Amino acid sequence: MKDTVILVVTGSVAAFKAAQLARRLMERGLLVKVAMTTAAERFITPLTFEALTGQPVLRAGFPQPGEAPMEHINFSRGARLVVIAPATANTMGKLAHGVADDSVLSMLLASGLPVMVAPAMNTQMYKHPAVQSNINTLAGRGVTFIGPSSGSLACGEEGEGKMEDAEVIAAAVMEKLGGEKDLAGVRLLVTTGGCQEPIDPVRYIGNRSSGKMGVAVAQVAAGRGAEVVLVAAHMETGLPEGMRVVRAHTAMEMQEAVRKEFAQCDILVMAAAVADYQVENPATGKVKKKNSMRLDLVETPDILAGVAMEKGGRVVVGFAAETEDHLASGRKKLMSKNLDLIVINDVSRGDIGFGSDYNEVTLLTRDGKKIEIARASKDMVAGEVLDQAATIWRDSRTVEQPEAS
Ligand code: PMT
């Protein structure tokens, strides 16, 4: 039986490319069912998609008496995923806020399916804080973004906001469908976010981690079939669904959570920015304002080094947040903390690392492999990290057969 995907077309000039996308997906053996917003119908007709796909199109208006009243619920049943292409700022905003004021948006909320989004709009619209905030909300809920790319836009301006090519979107859909199972049976423990160490009940010492990197690792792993537990400190992004999440706000809480979960995992990926120091005696009441204040800090336990010393057959992956001597410092952490793999990133750059949707990293393995990953989305980086960690884990489990005599 063919896998079914739902293609949601919204009101953008790029809607014509959705017809190419439907073809590309069908060429890859998928059954494609199209849903169209009212605005999409101003650019391309439902008849075009019905003729292309051989399937009835879900239109935005609510059913009239006598028409199937539950089509917005039934339409997506049995499908594997939804891809919204082109996705306008309007539809992304509605989806981010749970608005279901037509049949297509109701179908999206009722589908329970993984969602992929290929945005298309003017550069300034795309960069608008409201649109970026909606994108972050959706990404935090596990929505996968494909593009947009840069180029000349329909409005005549140049810049980011061009819908990705149909071929690129189709390849991403296939990867999501096909690459899902290679981590099935692998138990992954991931930490993310920034620890906050209390000074008193209202103040803390913290860091700039948003949690995006660790969430990307957790989501990509879950998408590839792994059983994931996420230990999350302070987050500037949403908590993902489809996995068990344990909250841990301080280094001590994170140590307790990691130690508790470590025995049941095969791979630990420690992407959290753990505080290196905590206040020795946090005040129980709010400290009154005065001219100056002195804090006594004591070192926190090194969670990663602690569990890695007793790792047995588990694979332990650390991140190294560096601003200088990246490779040498990263290599030192790899060896001194007894890690199998370290992911080194430059946290002095504004376009990657802390808070960014992108990262650029160097991977070092214990057996001397060095892999450079050029600036890419945190999802892509997560995929590479998982590939390496899974290879080390599988290799360590391969029992060498004695040669036949
Ligand atoms: O969250 P984002 O905004 O997406 O940003 C991602 C990131 C920059 C936080 C992430 O990519 C990253 O680099 N995480 C590691 C941050 C860090 O604490 O690096 P470190 O070099 O100080 O520590 C090395 C390793 O030891 C890390 O895996 C850390 O989790 C671990 N550690 C550190 C201190 C400590 N007391 N216990 C630990 O386990």
What pTM did the predictor assign?
0.67
Tens-place pLDDT, residues 173-198: 988 887 556 788 999 999 999 999 99
pLDDT of 403 over the 60 cut: no
Q: Residue 80 has what DSSP assignment?
A: S
Which of 209, 316, 317, 338 is the best mutation target for the ligand 1 pocket, counting ligand atoms within 8 Å of the beta carbon and taking the most? 209
Instruction: Find, among 19, 74, 71, 65, the residue nearest to 43 by Cα.
Output: 19
Transcribe 286-346 into DSSP letters. PPPP-S-----EEEPP-HHHHHHTT-TT-EEEEEEEESSSHHHHHHHHHHHTT-SEEEEEE
Give how far Cα 284 sits from Cα of 88, 233, 295, 351, Å: 50, 21, 14, 39
Does residue 347 line the site of ligand 1, with CB under 6 A?
Answer: yes
Give how far Cα 209 sits from Cα of 92, 342, 372, Å: 25, 18, 22
Q: What is the pLDDT of residue 179?
A: 59
Cα 396 from Cα 381, distance rounded (Å):
23
Instruction: Find, among 50, 15, 20, 12, the residue nearest to 34 by Cα.
Output: 50
pLDDT of 109 over the 90 cut: yes
What residue ranges define each of the domains in the chain, with the CATH number in brackets?
A: 4-177 (3.40.50.1950), 187-396 (3.40.50.10300)
- Structure tokens belonging to residue 190: 């991931």
Tens-place pLDDT, residues 223-257: 788 999 999 999 998 888 778 999 999 999 999 99
Cα 354 from Cα 350, distance rounded (Å):
8
Active-site annotation, residues? 155
Helix (H) or strand (E) holding 175: helix 166-178
Task: Find tokens 């008496």 and name the residue.
Answer: 65
What angle in degrees, to the nearest 10, is found between the helix axes of 89-96 and 103-111?
50
Cβ 219 vs Cβ 120: under 8 Å = no
Which of 270, 332, 348, 378 is the best mutation target for the ligand 1 pocket, counting ligand atoms within 8 Å of the beta carbon and taking the most? 270
Instruction: Find, among 134, 135, 71, the residue nearest to 104 by Cα.
Output: 71
Cα 336 to averaged position of ligand 1 atoms, centre (Å): 15
